[in-house]
């Protein structure tokens, strides 16, 4: 009985801290409202009360907008810096035209990658998903529909998005759902953090963005990556597009140039679980 009570006592601070992280945006808005009421009632001398509120709003905004922020949930964005390997990750696929070409290039260089798939895209391309797995690549959950308005959604919506994508992945890999999650556009909010915690996922960002979403020249994309690459990096690339009817074909040529450069430097391309040394069924840090 004593051991149970001790364990409960150790858990309470963690739960309180988690509650605060998931409600920090509400705390910030509540404080601003309180301070503004004080200013309105008592005049300009109380303007000083708005300063802590403004700082708190900035902290919350940074936590939402910065992909690597762990304010709301523990987020990994790179592996061990002394490692002789990097992890290439691909978002927004699978694409029926671009993804097979990406897989061809990866196979040619014997490189493995992690594909953060959009659930509804995978659901109509299950054979492409099976090819990914057969060639040694790993899935990550990138939501069901990749909504650009997700930061205006509540907990239940985020949970359904994650669960639907998990179901699409499970239909391809035989029921072993992905333990990795990357939010669309890298944006996070407390409601999303709570859904990720409920599903027991590891939240993965990146340490090096290829900028292949705005750069159309494959050589510029490759130069950017190779000019900044370090051991342990998680590199963000895109084999698909979240908007129907659009593609990112520059990814294929850029990938070949990147792999040429990585090979010349002696870097090995591994999956995110391999880079982070986590198993498929491992549990992420407590939020």
Q: What is the pLDDT of residue 13?
A: 42
- Per-residue pLDDT band for 128 (boundaries 50, 70, 90) equals very high
> Catalytic residues, which ones?
91, 238
Give yes or no for residue 139 having a pLDDT over 50: yes
Question: Can you tell me the mean pLDDT for 18-43?
Answer: 81
Share of the chain above pLDDT 90, in %: 71
CA separation (Å) from 73 to 17, 192, 197?
Answer: 11, 9, 8
- Does residue 3 surpass a pLDDT of 60? no
For position 46, what pLDDT does the model report? Answer: 64
Residue 109 and residue 84: Cα distance in Å, rounded?
Answer: 16
Confidence of residue 12 (pLDDT cuts 50, 70, 90): very low
Output the average pLDDT for the chain: 89
Cβ contact 118:240 at 8 Å: yes
Judge whether residue 279 has pLDDT over 70.
Answer: no
Cα separation, 188 vs 71, in Å, equals: 10
> Is 50 exposed, middle or buried, given 0-12, 13-18 or 19+ CB atoms closer than 10 A?
middle
Res 1 pLDDT > 50? no
Q: Averaged over 155-176, what is the pLDDT? A: 94
Domains and CATH numbers, the chain: 2-65 (no CATH), 76-276 (3.20.20.370)
Of the candidate ranges 1-5, 14-18, 271-275, the one whose mean pLDDT is the lowest? 1-5
Res. 35: pLDDT tops 90: no
Q: Out of 19-33, 36-50, 95-109, give the one with best mean pLDDT.
A: 95-109
Each residue of 240-251: pLDDT tens digit? 999 988 999 999
Give residue 133's pLDDT band: very low, low, confident or very high (50, 70, 90): very high
Residue 34 vs residue 116, higher pLDDT: 116
């Amino acid at each position: 009985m004593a051991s149970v009570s001790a364990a409960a006592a150790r858990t309470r601070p963690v739960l309180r801290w988690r509650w605060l992280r998931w409600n920090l945006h509400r705390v910030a808005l509540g404080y601003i409202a309180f301070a503004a009421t004080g200013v309105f009632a008592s005049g300009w001398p109380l303007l000083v009360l708005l300063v802590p509120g403004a700082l708190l709003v900035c902290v919350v905004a940074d936590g939402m907008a910065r992909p690597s922020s762990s304010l709301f949930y523990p987020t990994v964005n790179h592996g061990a810096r002394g490692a002789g390997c990097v992890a290439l990750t691909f978002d927004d696929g699978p694409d029926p035209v671009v993804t097979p070409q990406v897989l061809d290039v990866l196979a040619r260089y014997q490189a493995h990658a992690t594909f953060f798939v959009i659930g509804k895209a995978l659901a109509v391309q299950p054979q492409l998903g099976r090819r990914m797995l057969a060639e040694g690549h790993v899935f990550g959950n990138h939501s069901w529909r990749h909504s650009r308005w997700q930061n205006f959604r509540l907990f239940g919506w985020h949970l359904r998005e994650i669960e639907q994508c998990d179901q699409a992945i499970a239909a391809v890999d035989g029921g072993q759902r992905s333990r990795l999650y990357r939010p669309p556009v890298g944006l996070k909010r407390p409601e999303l953090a709570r859904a990720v915690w409920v599903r027991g996922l590891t939240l993965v960002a990146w340490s090096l963005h290829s900028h292949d979403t705005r750069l159309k020249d494959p050589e510029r994309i490759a130069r950017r990556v190779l000019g900044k690459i370090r051991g342990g990096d998680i590199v963000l690339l895109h084999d698909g597009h979240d908007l129907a009817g659009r593609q990112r074909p520059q990814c294929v040529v850029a990938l070949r140039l990147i792999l040429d450069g990585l090979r010349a430097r002696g870097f090995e391309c591994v999956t995110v679980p391999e880079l982070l040394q986590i198993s498929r069924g491992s549990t992420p840090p407590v939020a």
